[in-house]
Chain A
Amino acid sequence: MEQETLVSQQETTSVKDNGFRFKTPADVQDLQDQPAKQALLNNLWHRNLTGFTHQAILGNPYTQVYSDHSIDYIDPTQDDAGPWSPAPIEWSPFPGRIRGYFQFNDPDTYYRLADTGYQDANETISFPPVPADPCNKADTDTKPFGPYGPRGWQDEYCEWAVIRNANNKITRIDFTCENPEYFYSLWQIDPDRVAEIYSNTLDKTVRKEDLYLTDPNTKQVIIDPSTGLPAYNPLNAFNSGPKATTTSGGAMHLTSTPNTLQTEIGLASLATILREKNYGNFNDLCCCSQYGQVNRNSDPNIGGKINTIVKNNDGISNQVTLKNPPGLYIQMPDLSLFEVPSGYKIQDFLHVRRGHQAQSNGGGTVDDYILHLTLEVPASTNLTVYDIKINGKNIDWAGQVAETFTMRIMGEYRAGTKKSPKSPCADDATNMLPQPLQLFHEDVFKAMINTTIKNPVGQDIPLLSNSSYVPPVLTRGQSYPMVLTMGYLLDPDQYGSPVIRIKNAFTFRVSVTKPPEKIYYATPGNSYPSEAWALYLNVHPNPDIDLNEEYKILVTYPALNYDGVEWPYILNLK
């Protein structure tokens, strides 16, 4: 079964360095009291974002056509020459698909669904089903409303958790738009600090042990070979679901499967591909280009705006990238919307807990880089959030507050040099190619694929759906059992297992250790789960391998003379 591959020296890919550095979200420096660790984190984050950018520009050359090799999305690590013009893109964090698909007589039903995932107080009726393929009006099939996951429906890159008191009045709401990749990265550097951030942001006692990934059967803590320390569980007790108490639950970072930064960059890149047909609205373009879900407030708008900028009214195409630091940011609501009890002001209750407010980009504009916003009325006041009003109505739902602010990504663009070609709509490839997705250390993979996550519509998904594209770390000279997930694979019964190669140099030895297994999960960034493959490997980076290169993976079939298509930034070395 074992096959081993040596890769030639000529395939080395060096990482160029033009001095550009991706900043952490909102440029937060969570380890600034430990400069050495902060430097490590900054370097890791820059590397992760570089990888996400390369993956975004490559797109999907495996299973789709007209969906890859974006030429007008700029990798700033290669070329950040300006001048750049700002392109802010905003949307409402209140799930657009709830208002877009459903009609309820009682306006509170929308809020209840957004806050709880249920239509009724007894929490017995969840979301109605929705069209299986909203891009195909002739298709009358339906499917359970997703994304799945404990608060998967909050899919506008903003999620929230609500604390209610014994009288069912809200006492606190936590809104977060922090991407999960940052927490995976910080965990690699300093798990203690992650726990501190949880504690300080959510105002609860959170130990790092509370955040450990465990085996669902044995309950044993899973050690992540990347660090030699316990692995991170993104759906831990303090970051899962829309409900919280003063001692548990909460919203620390995004968990809905499409709410990832890697996805956002991928969407931005894919949206730069011009299409042959002119679309009158962003939903149709979204269907054509196959990024995101139609009727979301975010994806169609983000993609449509970027595509319009690149298209430049059919003139010389513009080029686009995300303004540094790339991220998803809450914009402060207009405080005058809130009516608070006498003797108080809304600033007593509404606080930016992470990120920061108001950086002017000129032109009379205000740019907030808020990552975490709380609305909390302390018990000492004998009041609750319910005593605050918006438009004369008491706040009974977090969704009411969500409607007071917007989310934003900040794109930027510059003039290109030529008119870019136009493509037909993205479509399934006639001849699909093996598609590598994510690489995991085997123990981490097993714990995540075997951990079942429940949700209101009864569609279980594995915790693996909340994994990330932050690559695993391998120590040079050691061998690791690993798992490569794949979106598409040639029929193993007919073609056997592929040969896996990792570039760079012939310093990686990779072997397939057992036949591929079918799995079912939502690849991070996807709204719905689908079938995939798990390929078990043994990976051994030789001791003499260079650090900080770009390591790409190829799924090959030598017998078929198929050499694979490189998928970048698959792992990191130390």
Chain B
Amino acid sequence: MYKKTLFVAIAIAGIIYILSHAIPGRAVSGASQAPVPSCNCAGTNINFDGNVPGDMPFGIGSQQDANCFGWWEFITLNWPSSGNDFGKPLDMRPVQWQTFISRSELFPAEGAVPRPWNQHNLFMSTTMLRTASRLDRRLLSTTEYMEATSKFEENVSDGFDSLESEQAGLEKNPKWLGAQNGTNLWYDIRLNHDIYNFVVNNKYYDAHAQLDSVKAGKPIVFPSGQPTGNVTGAIEMKAAWMEVKDTTNVKWRRYKLARVAVVDPGSQNPRYTWVALVGLHILHKTQSQSTWVFATFEHVDNAPDNATDTGHYNFFNPHCRDTSFTVPKEALPFDTSRNPVTLSCIPNMNPPYKLGYGVPPLPIQVVRSNPIENRAKATNSFMQNAIRERFPSSVWQYYQLVNVMWSSNAPGLPDTPQVVPVNIPSSQPSEAYRVANVTLETYQQGTRCTDCHKNAKIAQIKGFENKYAADFSFALGTAKYKGFNALRRKLRMGK
């Protein structure tokens, strides 16, 4: 029942969105004749508009290039999907990447064909719409729904059988993140039109089509962005949002906000709320970077570099005290877990209980384990100033690049199916550098993006030993196939 309600809410939101906004995709810049604002980032001209670059004009040759490219992507992907009010405070309208298709919509149940592009918020029936409107009319104004409380909840191909997706993840401790305002973060994965076309044209929404492809000797190769010619290439966005409880607080004028429906982990009912963007991954395949560019951004108020910091952050309290309390048995992550549990002030510790069993999310103490490196800091300072000069009140001046991963000697596109792990030669920054976003990899900050993504596999099919690489994207691994649900029910009953 809850899903029907949720779908209705989203459907209404989608209709409102479609009727009132530009068609998703590349935003058209320069509606007026005024020159497009731009800045020169270490030799690369960055236009402040919605034209997402397919690649650096001359490829990426240095970390500075990579950092500038990351900011270029960030600006253009966060460009308003209508108008040119770049980062206008309290503007709830979706930015460009929010109009992309969600991963769950691109890979429907049972390997079904996804809805046509531009209709990916309109897949609910009118019955559902009526149900939603009775629930909470504010849901009609939402632009997205979110149900993931961990980035890893749906990572079903990173070493785990997709039929066991409920327990998937890199490790089994709870991975939700509680902000200092007593709410948990919500996660959102969106895929751009190029990926949509790639998946639909190859029928990769059906797990069998993926397997058939590699069995026939055809590798999984996502489309590459081109430096010219309006070819963006594959882009995956992973966002972390924190809930806004005090909507009148002026601090939210520093954040990208959205009205969304979230699925309460306990009641499983959709709930209307404001959310503020606090973390954003941008994964982009380009001509010069066949092993993808991994850029990650955060809000500047997220967390300190040091546990001795005296400032207040979204995910850090200098006066934090350990607290112990008893939780329902069902909320314990393991049979052997102690109860009462202790919520520790040791930074970056997984929460000791699961959400959805009557215990609200409590603040998790977070510290950035890998301080933002000097080159990123230099680019951040330059680009934040550039935004401030051109758009003085823009919320985007309050975001920072954490790092960008790229290869100084990326290989050519594969001719044959690759198996995991896929080697990334000359990976930059080099092995010594850990790259983690405190909102998306809170509990795994000792890793690098590619540590996981090199293991991304095609979707699992029961009985098949899956070893084939999915071109660094975990998205394909979520595809299902006809009969999947029945098989899963059967397996669950057998347990």
Interface residues of A (CB under 8 A from B): 85-92, 94, 96, 99-100, 279-284, 295-297, 300-301, 304-305, 308-309, 312-313, 332-334, 336-337, 361-366, 390-392, 400, 403-404, 406, 408
Contact = CB atoms under 8 A, between A and B. Distances in A.
Contact of B408 (A85, A92, A361): A92
A334 B373 contact: yes
A296 B411 CA distance: 12
A308 B288 CA distance: 10
B47 interface: no
Nearest to B57: A313
B310 interface: no
B431 interface: yes
A281 B412 contact: yes
Given A295-B409, A336-B305, 11 more contacts: A100-B426, A282-B409, A283-B409, A283-B412, A301-B409, A305-B61, A332-B374, A363-B68, A364-B378, A364-B380, A364-B382
Contacts of A300: 409
Nearest to B41: A363
B434 interface: yes
16 contacts: A90-B62, A281-B290, A282-B409, A282-B410, A295-B409, A301-B426, A334-B433, A336-B370, A336-B373, A363-B43, A364-B41, A364-B42, A364-B381, A365-B379, A366-B375, A391-B432
B379 A87 contact: no
Contact of A85 (B43, B288, B305, B379): B43
B383 interface: yes
Given A301-B409, A400-B432, A295 B374 contact: no
A87 B56 CA distance: 12
Contacts of B57: 312-313
A284 B413 CA distance: 11
Contacts of A280: 287, 290, 412-413
A401 B366 CA distance: 28
B61 A88 contact: yes
Nearest to B381: A364
Nearest to A392: B446
A343 to B, nearest CB: 16
Interface residues of B, number: 46
B425 interface: yes
B393 to A, nearest CB: 22
A363 B434 contact: no
Contacts of A94: 430-431
B42 A361 contact: yes
The 10 A-B pairs with the shortest beta carbon distances in the complex, nearest first, are: A364-B382, A305-B61, A281-B412, A334-B373, A280-B412, A90-B62, A88-B62, A363-B42, A403-B432, A336-B371
B111 to A, nearest CB: 31
B42 A365 contact: yes
Contacts of A282: 409-410
B63 A406 contact: yes
Nearest to A364: B382
B73 interface: no
B425 A96 contact: yes
Contacts of B227: 313
Contacts of A305: 58-59, 61
B40 interface: yes
Contacts of A304: 59, 409
Most interface-central of A301, A312, A361 (chain B CB within 10 A): A301
Most interface-central of B62, B374, B425, B434 (chain A CB within 10 A): B62
Interface of B: 40-43, 57-59, 61-65, 68, 227-228, 287-288, 290, 305, 370-371, 373-375, 378-383, 408-413, 425-426, 428-434, 446
Most interface-central of B68, B305, B429 (chain A CB within 10 A): B429
A403 B40 contact: no
Contacts of A296: 409
Nearest to B434: A391
B415 to A, nearest CB: 11
A96 B411 CA distance: 13
A165 to B, nearest CB: 24
Contact of A90 (B59, B305, B408): B408
A86 B290 CA distance: 24
Contacts of A404: 430, 432-433
A288 B358 CA distance: 65
B382 A363 contact: yes
Contact of A403 (B63, B228, B380, B431): B431
A89 B56 CA distance: 13
A296 B379 CA distance: 28
B410 A281 contact: yes
Nearest to B40: A363
B58 A406 contact: no
Nearest to A411: B61
Contacts of A312: 57-58
A89 B61 contact: yes
A289 to B, nearest CB: 15
A336 B434 CA distance: 11
Given A96-B426, A305-B59, A88 B64 contact: yes
Nearest to B226: A313
B421 to A, nearest CB: 11
A366 B374 CA distance: 9
Nearest to B427: A92
A356 to B, nearest CB: 16
B141 to A, nearest CB: 39
A365 B370 CA distance: 20
B63 to A, nearest CB: 6
Contacts of A309: 58
Nearest to A84: B43
Contacts of B409: 91, 96, 281-283, 295-297, 300-301, 304
Nearest to A299: B409
Contacts of A88: 42-43, 61-62, 64-65
B142 to A, nearest CB: 37
Contacts of B408: 90-92, 297, 301
A333 B373 CA distance: 9
Contact of A100 (B383, B413, B425, B446): B425
A337 B371 CA distance: 8
Contacts of A408: 62
Most interface-central of A87, A88, A90, A99 (chain B CB within 10 A): A90
Nearest to A413: B58
B318 to A, nearest CB: 20
B426 A297 contact: yes
A99 B425 contact: yes
Contacts of B42: 86, 88, 361-365
A406 B371 contact: no
B262 to A, nearest CB: 36
Nearest to A334: B373
Contacts of A86: 42-43
A336 B433 CA distance: 10
B134 to A, nearest CB: 53
Contact of A92 (B41, B58, B430): B430
A304 B425 CA distance: 15
A100 B426 CA distance: 8
B428 A90 contact: yes
A406 B428 contact: yes
Contacts of A308: 58-59, 288
A280 B64 CA distance: 22
Contact of A364 (B373, B383, B411): B383
A403 B383 CA distance: 27
A92 B426 contact: yes
A313 B58 CA distance: 8
Contacts of B428: 90-92, 406
B371 A87 contact: no
Nearest to A107: B431
B52 to A, nearest CB: 17
A87 B409 CA distance: 16
Contact of B411 (A283, A333, A366): A283
Given A87-B61, A96-B425, A308-B59, A334 B43 contact: no
Nearest to A297: B426
B160 to A, nearest CB: 24
